Structures are given as C-alpha cells and as structure tokens.
Chains A and B, each alone.
Chain A
Amino acid sequence: MHIVVCIKQVPDSAQIRVHPVTNTIMRQGVPTIINPYDLFSLEEALRLRDKFGGEVTVLTMGPPMAADSLRKALTIGADRAVLLTDRFFAGSDTLATSFALAQAIRKIGEEFGAPDIVFAGKQTIDGDTAQVGPGVAKRLDLLQLTYVSAISGLDLEDKSITIERRSEGGVQILKTRLPCLVTMLEGSNVVRRGRIEDALRAARADVVAWNAKDAGIEDVTKCGLRGSPTVVKRVFAPPPRAEKAAQIDLAVHKTPNDMAEAMIEAMFAHSPSLEGDMTKLAAGF
C-alpha cells in the first residue's frame, strides 16, 4: 500500500511578530513547525502502514527550508519525502496550492506507485482554511473524507475503507472506496516519537526536491499568484473602537467592593435592560 501525506511547514504562530509600523509579518527568527493538524494525519498513515505494510511518502510545497519539516516527518517514521519548491509557486492561494499538490501527487504515483490513500491535515494554523484537502481530492478525483475521528476498517482486497466522521451534531459512519483523501480530526491519535533507527535514517535521507517541471506541471499560469483567483488587497490592524473602554476610576473606588459596585453601576447604566435580564437569569428563569 502507498500512502501520501501532505504536510505544511508553518510559523510557530504563537510566536509570530507583526512589525508595529509596517504591519507586515516579521518572519525572521520565528521558528517553524509542521502544521500540528498534519501530525494526526501522518500518525494515522504510519499506523496503517505498520498494520498493512507499504510505504508512506510525505509531500510539502514550500520554500527550500521546508525540507526541515520533511526531515522531521522522516524522523517520525515516514519512508520518503518530496519537496515541491519553485518560485512559480510563490503567492499561491488554496486553489493554486491544490493544483500544484495534485500534480505532484500524480507524479509521485508515476514514480513510486499510485497512492491508495492521500492524507491532508484538517486545516493549517496559518492559512486556517481547511480548503486545500478537499481541493486536492477534487483535482485528483478522489473520494473525500474530512474530519475523520477514526479509521475503523480497511480492506485492501476489496479496496474499501470505513471511517467515523465528525459532523455538526454527531458522528457519521461512512464506507467508501479507495483511493480516497482523508483529513484527520485533532486528538484522534497520539503522534509517535520515532525510533533511533528512524532518526538516523532521516538524518541521512535525501529529500527529493522537485520544481514545477519535475512535478510535470507544464502550465505554470495555474500556479502561484497567477493561478490564484483570490487576492489580498489590504492587510490591516483591527481598528480600535472609537473610544477606548471607560475605566472605573480607581482613585475614587479604592476597595475591591467599591470597585465591584461601581462596575455593576457602569454596566447597568450602559445597558439599562441588563439588570432585569440578569436578575431573571440569576434566579434561574
């Protein structure tokens, strides 16, 4: 069995900095990580490989330094890594990203065997759209299984897969055919650390680097900015409210009790209907 896992290198967003003057992202020195959601998909892929045999190929599209994330995926236990990198890909939106990834997956299929399952993360923490997975599925004409909380059955003879899928109000149990695309729900498994053998192998492994041409992409107008129907026109800091919060005057109200009373007065003065509503609520109506 061959499984492809799409992972993305993202800035460790808790640490992102914004330039106070130009409002641009200051990426310098911001550490990068594998998109945390992708790790659940990677782990699930490794479990299936361990159980059914076969290989796991990790794929990312990004700048050359994204190779670090691929190597980390190898350390965790993936068998092969492909980096899709080319200046033509710069500025891709989700549509252009899914195009490039789909092409690369086709090429991976030609080179290393057609994948039975493609995994993507539920969403990224930087783009945060959850669109690339479904996009890749559509472009490759794969059946699509998103928000999967468990893979409960896989039959390679029969080419069938049974999964549990989180929906708004419950869990759907779906059965469909391979090949398919799966995005895993966070928390559905615990990612492994990788054995010392994997770490050694990863440290020495080659990361296959493909440019657009290598990936079999002839029409580069479908990539990057040119292939992106959406355009970011404006980036801005959220405007403050016209006036800042009215502050309770601590020179007047000194003890916590005083402050609390003043606060409640201020609330009810701001929204006169609140007192009635809250009285009912507090009484349990």
Chain B
Amino acid sequence: MIDEKFDAIVIGAGHAGNAAAYTMASRGMKVLQLERGEYPGSKNVQGGILYADMLEKIIPDFREEAPLERHLIEQRFWFMTDRSHTGMHYRSDDFNEDRPNRYTIIRSQFDRWFARQAQAKGAVLLSETTAVELIQDAYGKAVGVRTDRTGGVLHADVVVLAEGVNGLLGARAGLRETPKPAHVALAVKEMHFLPPEVIEARFNLKGNEGAVIEAAGTISQGMAGMGFIYTNKESISVGIGCLVSDFAENKTSPSELLDAFKKHPSVAPLIEGSEVKEYAAHLIPEGGYKAVPQTFGDGWVICGDAAGLNNAVHREGSNLAMTSGRLAGEAIFQIKSRREKMNAENLSLYRKYLDDSFVMKDLRKHKDMPALLHTQAQNLFLTYPQLVSRAMENFVRVDGTPKIEKEKDTFRAVRKARGFGVIGDAVRLALAWR
C-alpha cells in the first residue's frame, strides 16, 4: 500500500508526457511519470523531425545537450510514378542558422534525454510500468491509476493522459474512443545505417546538415499515404504509411509498400549497401480536428496523439504533442497555485489554452483535408503523378517529335484521365490546405 499522493501522474514519456512532466516539475509540483517501455523512447516511433520552436518554449537552451541528429537545410517533395519522380527541392543556406528550425532526431535517444530533464527537475519516472486502469471515485473524478506491477494504487490530484495514439487507458475509462481504422494511419519505418560520409555524399550535405524527402504517388498504390526519407547522422530513416482502413480494403500491407518504395529506382541508390538495424511500425492519428475527443474532465486531461492532436497534412505531431503537454502542465499549475480543485470546470483552462494556440488553429484550418485525401486518393496518388510524369517526360525527352505534338499528347492524357475534374481537385485541395 502506497499512501503517498502526487500532485499529478503523467501517463507516458513521449513528447507530450515529457513536456507535461517537465512543465509541472520545474514549477515545483510533485510529479510521477509512468512509462511502459523499457526506457522512455524505447517503443516510440517518429520519422522524425523535431520542430525547435516548440521545444524552445519548454527548454530554451535544449540545443546544447539534446541528442539531435542533423539540422535540416533541404526539403524535397517527390511526386512519384513507378519509374520516375518529379520533384521540388527547397534548400537554403539560411537554414544553417545559429538556432536551426528543424532537426532530425532518434526517439530512443531523444525521449530518454527529455525525460531526464524532467527528472532533473524532480519528476519521478517509473519505466517498465504500465498504467492499466484509471481509478475514479464515486463521483467519477479520476484520483489515480493502477499499474501492472504488484502493489497498490498510485494517487494524484490529476492524471495527465499522454499515452499516445493507442491510448488504452483513456479508452478503457470511456474518456475517448479507440481510434477508428479510417482515422489512423499505419506507418512503418526502417533505419538504414551507413557511414556519415556516404550519407553526406548521397544527399549533398556537409557536417551536421540534413535533408528530408517527402514522397507521394503510385508508391501508395492509390491509397492516401506518403513515404519519407530522412537523414540522421549515421542512418537514413525510410518509411511509408497509409490509413489502416485502406490497408484492409486493398488487402496490402505496409511492409509490402515499404519494400516497393525501397526498390524504387529513385530510392534504391540512396540506401544501397546500408545495414538495416531497426524496423518499427506505429500508428499516426489522422482524423484531424473532427476526431479530437473531449480533452479534459474531472481529474484528467488528454494530450498529444492520445487526443488526436496530429497534423497529418504537414506531418507534424511532435510539436503538437509537446505544446499540448506544456499547456496542460501550465493549466494544472495555474489551478494548483490558485488552490482550486482539479475538476472539469477548472481544467477547461487547458482546452482554452489549446484553442488559443497554433495546435487547434492549425487543426481547424485543415479540418477538411483528411476526408478529401481519402475520397480523392485514386486521383491524387495514382492518376496525377502519372500525368505529371508524362508531361515532364514529354518536356524533357528530345527525340524528334515536334513540340506541338508533345504538348497535345500531354493535354490529351489529362483530358482522358480526369477531364476538367483536375481543376476542381486542385481548387478543393488548395482550399483544404490553405
């Protein structure tokens, strides 16, 4: 029996949980954090890009110590067919700034570091400890959790559910639904190890510079989904993901997509000769704004992926998770310092903070995107890439065919495929993205 009571118990040591634990512990609160993995980050998966700004708001000088892989100076978008890609690159030396804006990270190292910072501020972390049940009192207020270790219940004034996309605890307690197949993507990722010099040569980088490739097109076989290639120091992360419902419908699996992606003539040379040391599969909430559940209640709040706070369009998740964790921590601290109760009414402050931040604003802005991507998947991911590729090939190949013929061929292909629907799609996409 443990008679000790904590100010807050945080479930999970991912971005959201660490941000919440850090925020509260650094303000002198008594925080207990539970992580089911062997250590923070041991089970967590991300491409992964870290957005500096959102972490700076929590730990301003994080760059000095955090395990960062490479800062990104180049972003490529690839529109792919089976044998080609049409690309857009943005590269700027301005990204070689003192305080770079984006970094690649490896979660197993980054999460461990982040959690340590919270511990340094006084948070108590129990790893390999899974919260299995949210304990509520007779009035339905959350008062603590039970874990999978033998021994008693752990008590706290408030429970911060930062348990990631699966969020079994919240689902079991009826605070949220388990994610629906149409609202989560399943992404798989491999780490391909290569000597740093080789990575730098292949991606035209030097020192700690990094590059990112986001790829869409026939690689997802007509489903809504994207592939990615990120450079780490000594490895390249290669992954691809699509909605779980699509995988089921199309009877294909993420690993099949990844295999095909890796064999693509544009991708294979980048990873050739590498040693694959890690394969991971993870869900990403993609329901968008419309799928965000109730985020607070009596004695509890939900943050990060567990609350579906993920911007699939821009492949942002870590920053929303961190920010929501920080805001939850700040709201809880406010309530505590006013010596008020951790009830739903007071904890609505967290939701207010969320609404006022970029988190909800961005999600609201893209609220129609998930549905659109889904209904237009065939066009967006199969037809258009092929049209673009055909146009580019006509443009680039010099074979004696008169230019006018080539142009006609391009237009004929477009008309045959989609008629003027293309324009409608473009407009719809632009509106949703805007």
- The short answer to whether A and B are in direct contact, CB under 8 Å, is yes
B-binding residues in A (CB < 8 A): 15, 17, 19-21, 26, 28-29, 31, 68, 75, 193-197, 199-200, 203-204
* Bound CA–CA A195/B147 (angstroms): 10
Shortest CB-to-CB span from A65 to chain B, Å, is 10
- Given A20-B195, A203-B125, A196:B151 Cβ within 8 A: yes
Contact of A193 among B2, B149, B154, B275 (CB under 8 A): B149
Contact of B2 among A20, A28, A197, A204 (CB under 8 A): A197
Shortest CB-to-CB span from B117 to chain A, Å, is 15
Shortest CB-to-CB span from B98 to chain A, Å, is 25
- Given A20-B275, A75-B128, A28:B151 Cβ within 8 A: no
Cβ–Cβ contact A196 & B149, under 8 A? yes
A–B Cβ pairs within 8 angstroms, 28 of them: A17-B193, A17-B277, A20-B195, A21-B195, A26-B193, A26-B234, A28-B234, A29-B106, A29-B234, A31-B42, A75-B126, A75-B127, A193-B149, A193-B150, A195-B149, A196-B2, A196-B129, A196-B150, A196-B151, A196-B154, A197-B2, A197-B151, A199-B128, A199-B129, A199-B149, A200-B126, A203-B124, A203-B125
Q: Does B28 contact A (CB under 8 A)?
A: no
Cβ–Cβ contact B234 & A194, under 8 A? no
Q: Give the chain A neighbours of B42 by CB distance below 8 A.
A: 31
* Bound CA–CA A203/B33 (angstroms): 11
Q: Give the chain B neighbours of A68 by CB distance below 8 A.
A: 39
Which B residues, 1 to 37, have Cβ-Cβ distances below 8 Å to chain A? 2, 4
* Inter-chain residue pair count (beta carbon < 8 A): 55
* Bound CA–CA A68/B233 (angstroms): 25
Contact of B149 among A17, A21, A26, A194 (CB under 8 A): A194
Contact of B109 among A19, A29, A194 (CB under 8 A): A29
Q: Does B383 contact A (CB under 8 A)?
A: no
Shortest CB-to-CB span from B247 to chain A, Å, is 28
Q: Does B152 contact A (CB under 8 A)?
A: yes
* Bound CA–CA A75/B126 (angstroms): 9
Q: Does B101 contact A (CB under 8 A)?
A: no
Given A196-B150, A197-B2, 6 new contacts (CB under 8 A): A29-B108, A31-B38, A193-B128, A197-B151, A199-B128, A204-B124
* Bound CA–CA A196/B129 (angstroms): 8
Which B residues, 142 to 163, have Cβ-Cβ distances below 8 Å to chain A? 147, 149-152, 154
The A contact surface, by secondary structure, is mixed
Cβ–Cβ contact A203 & B126, under 8 A? yes
* Bound CA–CA A199/B110 (angstroms): 23
Cβ–Cβ contact B277 & A31, under 8 A? no
Ranked 8 nearest A-B pairs via Cβ: A196-B151, A196-B149, A195-B151, A199-B126, A203-B124, A195-B150, A197-B151, A21-B195
* Bound CA–CA A203/B4 (angstroms): 14
Which B residues, 62 to 89, have Cβ-Cβ distances below 8 Å to chain A? none
Q: Which residue of A lies closest to B195 (CB)?
A: A21
Q: B389-417, CB under 8 A of A: which get 1 and which 0?
A: 00000000000000000000000000000
Q: Which of A21, A68, A199 has the most CB of B within 10 A?
A: A199
* Bound CA–CA A43/B108 (angstroms): 28
Q: Give the chain B neighbours of A28 by CB distance below 8 A.
A: 233-234
* Bound CA–CA A17/B235 (angstroms): 12
* Bound CA–CA A65/B386 (angstroms): 53
Cβ–Cβ contact B124 & A200, under 8 A? yes
- Given A193-B149, A194-B149, A195-B150, A200:B2 Cβ within 8 A: yes
Cβ–Cβ contact B124 & A31, under 8 A? no
Cβ–Cβ contact B195 & A19, under 8 A? yes
Q: Which residue of B lies closest to A76 (CB)?
A: B128
- Given A17-B275, A19-B195, A196-B2, A31:B108 Cβ within 8 A: yes
* Bound CA–CA A204/B122 (angstroms): 10
Q: Which residue of B lies closest to A28 (CB)?
A: B234
Q: Give the chain A neighbours of B152 by CB distance below 8 A.
A: 196
Q: Give the chain B neighbours of A21 by CB distance below 8 A.
A: 195
Which B residues, 236 to 280, have Cβ-Cβ distances below 8 Å to chain A? 275, 277-278
* Bound CA–CA A200/B147 (angstroms): 12
Q: Give the chain B neighbours of A29 by CB distance below 8 A.
A: 106, 108-109, 234
Q: Give the chain B neighbours of A195 by CB distance below 8 A.
A: 149-151
Shortest CB-to-CB span from A244 to chain B, Å, is 17
Q: Give the chain B neighbours of A20 by CB distance below 8 A.
A: 195, 275
* Bound CA–CA A195/B151 (angstroms): 6
Shortest CB-to-CB span from A10 to chain B, Å, is 14
Q: Which residue of B lies closest to A30 (CB)?
A: B277
* Bound CA–CA A26/B4 (angstroms): 43
Q: Give the chain A neighbours of B127 by CB distance below 8 A.
A: 75
* Bound CA–CA A15/B191 (angstroms): 12
Q: Give the chain A neighbours of B106 by CB distance below 8 A.
A: 29
Cβ–Cβ contact A196 & B108, under 8 A? no
Contact of B277 among A15, A75, A194, A200 (CB under 8 A): A15
* Bound CA–CA A30/B312 (angstroms): 30
Q: Which residue of B lies closest to A32 (CB)?
A: B39
Q: Give the chain A neighbours of B39 by CB distance below 8 A.
A: 31, 68
Q: Give the chain B neighbours of A197 by CB distance below 8 A.
A: 2, 151
* Bound CA–CA A20/B150 (angstroms): 46
Q: Which residue of B lies closest to A18 (CB)?
A: B275
Q: Give the chain A neighbours of B154 by CB distance below 8 A.
A: 196
Q: Give the chain A neighbours of B193 by CB distance below 8 A.
A: 17, 26
